[in-house]
Structure 1
Amino acid sequence: MDLKLHEQLSFYYDSWDSWQVNLTVTDIDESGQEDGNNLPRVIDGAGFGILEDFGGVGRLGEIASLVKRDGVTAHRSELNWSGQWVPDNFTFDFYDQDDLNFRLKRLVQAYRQVYENHLNFGAKMAAILDREYYPGAHQKEEEPAPSVEVDLPLVVQQLKKADGSNITDGKLARINNQLIAAFIEDLKKNGKLSEKTVKRYHDELTFYLIGYLTPRKATLFGWIATDIGELYFKGCSDDEIKRLRAALNKLNKFLVTQGVVTPQWAREFKQGLKNSIDVGHDYAKETFSDNDDGLW
């Protein structure tokens, strides 16, 4: 598309909500020095942006005024009704340029994979698409200092109490980080697994406990935790669910050896994962088997 300086491009998104996006060419870099690896890139902006399936500009303006007046808690059911979760400290003025660029690069890859290669993208990419991860989750987490010991019994107690409560996303994420840190440190001390495998366990648990469960006010000790079969409907593949299942079972085995959960609890959790996967897989296959877009 050969647009000239100051020319404008308008496009419509979502025939139901009818978003109209206007783009204006304000500058053209002809130096040839721009690194293609840094494109596309957001260089400035303001505000959170649209909420999917929300009713368009009019409805978004109404809910923005209500949230500004009453706060998020009073209107959480309205904000979450379309399935797009927002953090407790959400405001429509929220703007995180690093987060936008983190999502932008990955979404380009995701849409190319779906529309050009006719493949489905996994649960992690779906979570990025829906912003269903704790803000800042794309940033590298700092591990606790070696001299700091994680009080594992206290962490487990806090997670049990937090499930389904009004705890803030940030506080719940920090508690989950302590749980993951204690588990990863034990794996490293054991020395039987490769660095790559340890990192995979870390990434799987961070995605699920912090990125997926935390925005839902859920923890490892709530009934939602075993319902990973639901991830088939987020675009998760068999391999992704297999890796997540292995990470959760490995974590629970660690908790048993530390004496903070019972073997019976771990067995029931393991069985719950299996049941959820079996049901989710069969139902998803039945639902999408007649789909002619090649995504199943």
Structure 2
Amino acid sequence: MDKIEILNLVPKFLAFYHKANKLEIDSKERWALWEEYYNFAAVPPGVEGRRMARNLLDKAWVRYEEHLSFIENWKPNEERVREYLTKVKNLLSYDQPIDFVLVYFVGGFENNPFVAPFDDGRLALCLPIELGESAITLVHELTHVVHNYTANLTADWERTIASTILQEGLATRVSQFLIPGHPDELYIEHKKGWLQSCKENRGEIIKGIYPYLEESSSEAVTRFTFGNGTTNHEREAYYVGWEMVNFLLTQGVTFGAIASIQETDIPDYLQESHLFFQPENSRF
């Protein structure tokens, strides 16, 4: 049986919020309290990540009050998680028990769940709760968890751009398959108009990312996820993954087969095994 340990960070956030809200302090002092009482955000590691976390806090601060009642009354729903985990495992053809930590936290309204290594070597699936819980988001992140087992993924922030592409593409398309019937934007878009803009620049985005498939530095991963890629579009790896996995599915490759590609083989698989990056498919 799958083992899910729940780590609820919402009380820690509320302790920070109530303390900071009672004091007449500036943003610098509020940041210091955040670091002392909470210190959790969906950002990359390092100095740049800390800068992003502080920026998220500053922008989100005025919004927390209107969502405070929801945050205070929110409760975890483990049964729902197990239901969708079973569906994802079946689709990806994985039948072994999974052991992971489910971390619930309050983010900055940016809706950025993520999967990362936990302190004891297990995976941590981290879900923000301030905007409510989406079945699409839950399935997306559970796909990352199961994919970690099927492909022996490292789960570290630093991984090849090819791996990033395939991981995000698989997660977006699995969520679309298991939670069907919604506009494409709901499965992948982080801000209005992004997907349409990517479609209009499809060839250039694919052409631009191709030389970086084997790059694995933190800077490269940040560039193609949080950053502006090569065409001034955020999250270009997500878009290329969305298109890439759809291409594989139309070629008859199953979800289980895609999920079984070992992480060390992913760069070669993307470069050599399929025609996706050829001009007639990427429309260079």
TM-score (norm 1): 0.30
* Higher Cα radius of gyration: 1
Q: Which has the higher contact order (CA 8 A, sep 6+)?
A: 2
TM-score (norm 2): 0.30
